[in-house]
């Protein structure tokens, strides 16, 4: 995630003196990135107020706060398998106190196969989510995160089961409790018009649509549940495949590799598949008028970007190709610093609106029309593919492992193209500690700038050889997995010694950096 600096400065989250001091040593985009999207850009909920109905006519959603179990199927006894326990109408969580309702206990998702039949308004849809998971404990009920939408049917291992809502959760009740360590197939049939999830920090999250124009998805940190039933926490990564049917003449793009495009009876079905597991907030779809741009990165890496037609018209095809043409060199430069690029493909999705931010959606980052041409923003989101997407958070309090590393990625790209490798360490005194910033301050400059400076201080202390050994080992040891700050400190100590670990810890936690 990289929010637009102007918004940050307008909100005064960076003090004028700190900003002026830093402006003298680095570019504007490097200075400040943080919150404020609710007050800027056009990607707020106001643009996505649902104005249409969908073909979904069932009304199986339990009234929030009620204790009834509802189901569209009369053949399934209501509440038949609660084993006499009182039904809990609170959402369960996975145990991350930043977002207590998101994620769910008791299982790991292996894959999400998501099918969307998108209405002519290009916003609302009928959908089927096929979720393969493995239980980690015996479960009387299975909780998934789903905000809004209408569920018409749910099955577990082929048998229809009762479903109800409990806060953010969709609760499925199997006839018999699910055994621990069992492979379970869940299918949820649902639909409606997604309502952007509110976020005081970032405005609307999740599937954001403008009727008649299109939709796009940006979910960090907890927006995924507005468009599919999810175990919505980065600690449960899974593979994704998408089948998106839209009116003929409309493009639909998602993560991973484009595996098909078929038009029948005035409707086009686009299929996309992501080879490697990803966090729910990194899944994305964009629907509308897009032009595809293909290229090749180092080692034959397929590059595929989708740019909104209005952006192509504004910039000209050659202008778009000039910007996207840098991606191959960027992958080369960052691979030299971080190790092999972790995924099967890369590219950009450039939407036709000034979003005020960019997001590192896996293998295909999303950019607003206002930011996509900034090389430093492109470098930031590309760096996240190693740090954030491949090596993912175990808990949101460690967000600096994403943003500090991506900020370092900006500086390394600048350094690799003749610029400076980041601001002086003294600029770190303008910021509080980046570790555990609190859920409302995930995207504040302390996380980005002092997080990046933490790595710069480490580089200065141990030298380039050991520093880049740490960076590449971190990317390799936790590739396609999850890790914590404690894991990083252990690696720093192993390669750089106890003093280096102490230095990093002080940069992360002391009120003023050393």
Residues at the site binding Zn ion, with contacts judged by CB under 5 A: 1-2, 403, 406
Of 115 and 407, the one with the shorter C-beta distance to Zn ion is 407
- For the CB of residue 195, give the shortest distance to Zn ion in the complex, in Å: 25
CA atoms within 13 A on the CB side of 468: 10
Q: Distance (Å, rounded) from C-alpha 321 to C-alpha 478?
A: 34
- For the CB of residue 410, give the shortest distance to Zn ion in the complex, in Å: 9
User: 156-194: b or e for each residue (b if 16 or more CB lie within 10 Å)?
Assistant: beeebbbbbbbbbbbbbbbeeebeeeeebebbbbbbbbb
Of 2 and 129, the one with the shorter C-beta distance to Zn ion is 2
- For the CB of residue 82, give the shortest distance to Zn ion in the complex, in Å: 43
- For the CB of residue 401, give the shortest distance to Zn ion in the complex, in Å: 11
- For the CB of residue 403, give the shortest distance to Zn ion in the complex, in Å: 5
Of 121 and 403, the one with the shorter C-beta distance to Zn ion is 403
Of 241 and 366, the one with the shorter C-beta distance to Zn ion is 366
Of 166 and 282, the one with the shorter C-beta distance to Zn ion is 282
**Which strands form 183-192's sheet, in the order they lie side by side?**
159-160, 150-156, 183-192, 125-135, 107-118, 238-247, 267-278, 257-264
- Tokens standing for 100? 């207590």
- Tokens standing for 136? 């980690």
Q: Distance (Å, rounded) from C-alpha 254 to C-alpha 344?
A: 14
Of 2 and 114, the one with the shorter C-beta distance to Zn ion is 2
- For the CB of residue 405, give the shortest distance to Zn ion in the complex, in Å: 9
Of 119 and 220, the one with the shorter C-beta distance to Zn ion is 220
- For the CB of residue 2, give the shortest distance to Zn ion in the complex, in Å: 5
With 0-12 / 13-18 / 19 or more C-beta atoms within 10 angstroms meaning exposed / middle / buried, residue 260 is exposed
**Which strands form 251-254's sheet, in the order they lie side by side?**
206-210, 214-218, 285-288, 251-254
- Across 61-180, the runs of DSSP E, i.e. the strands, are 107-118, 125-135, 142-145, 150-156, 159-160, 163-166, 169-172
**How far lies 221's CA from each of 98, 276, 487, in Å?**
10, 20, 22
């Amino acid at each position: 995630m990289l929010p637009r600096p102007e918004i940050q400065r307008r909100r005064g989250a960076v003090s004028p003196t700190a900003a002026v001091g830093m402006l003298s040593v680095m570019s504007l985009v490097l200075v400040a990135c943080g919150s404020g999207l609710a007050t800027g850009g056009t990607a707020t909920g106001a643009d996505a107020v649902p104005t249409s109905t969908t073909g979904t006519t069932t009304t199986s959603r339990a009234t929030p706060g009620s204790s009834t179990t509802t189901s569209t199927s009369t053949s399934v006894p209501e509440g038949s398998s609660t084993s006499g326990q009182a039904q809990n109408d609170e959402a369960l969580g996975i145990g991350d106190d930043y977002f207590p309702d998101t994620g769910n206990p008791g299982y790991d998702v292996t894959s999400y196969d998501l099918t969307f039949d998108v209405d002519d308004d290009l916003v609302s849809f009928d959908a089927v989510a096929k979720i393969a998971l493995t239980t980690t404990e015996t479960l009387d009920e299975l909780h998934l995160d789903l905000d809004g939408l209408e569920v018409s049917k749910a099955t577990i291992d082929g048998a229809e089961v009762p479903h109800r809502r409990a806060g953010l959760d969709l609760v499925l009740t199997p006839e018999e409790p699910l055994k621990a360590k069992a492979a379970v197939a869940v299918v949820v049939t649902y639909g409606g018009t997604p309502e952007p999830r509110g976020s005081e920090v970032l405005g609307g999250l999740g599937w954001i649509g403008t009727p008649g124009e299109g939709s796009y998805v940006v979910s960090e940190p907890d927006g995924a549940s507005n468009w599919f039933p999810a175990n919505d926490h980065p600690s449960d990564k899974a593979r994704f495949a998408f089948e998106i049917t839209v009116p003929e003449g409309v493009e639909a793009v998602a993560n991973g590799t484009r595996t098909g495009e078929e038009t029948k009876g005035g409707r086009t079905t686009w299929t996309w598949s992501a080879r490697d597991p990803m966090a729910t907030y990194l899944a994305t779809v964009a629907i509308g008028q897009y032009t595809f741009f293909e290229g090749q990165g180092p080692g034959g890496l397929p590059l595929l970007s989708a740019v909104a037609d209005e952006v192509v018209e504004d910039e000209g095809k050659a202008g778009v190709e000039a910007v996207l043409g840098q991606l191959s060199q960027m992958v080369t430069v960052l691979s030299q610093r971080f190790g092999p690029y972790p995924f099967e493909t890369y590219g950009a999705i450039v939407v036709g609106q000034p979003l005020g931010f960019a997001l590192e959606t896996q293998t295909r980052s999303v950019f607003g029309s206002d930011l996509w041409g900034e090389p430093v923003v492109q470098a930031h989101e590309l760096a996240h593919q190693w740090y954030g997407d491949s090596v993912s958070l175990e808990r949101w309090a460690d967000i600096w492992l994403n943003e500090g590393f991506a900020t370092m990625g900006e500086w390394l790209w600048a350094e690799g193209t003749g610029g400076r490798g980041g601001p002086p360490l003294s600029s770190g005194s303008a910021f509080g500690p980046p570790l555990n910033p609190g859920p409302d301050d995930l995207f504040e400059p302390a996380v980005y700038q002092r997080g990046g400076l933490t790595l710069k201080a480490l580089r200065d202390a141990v030298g380039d050889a050991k520093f880049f050994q740490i960076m590449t080992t971190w990317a390799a040891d936790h590739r396609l997995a999850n890790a914590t700050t404690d894991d990083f400190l252990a690696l720093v100590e192993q390669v750089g010694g106890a003093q280096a670990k102490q230095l990093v810890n002080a940069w992360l936690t002391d009120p003023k950096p050393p």
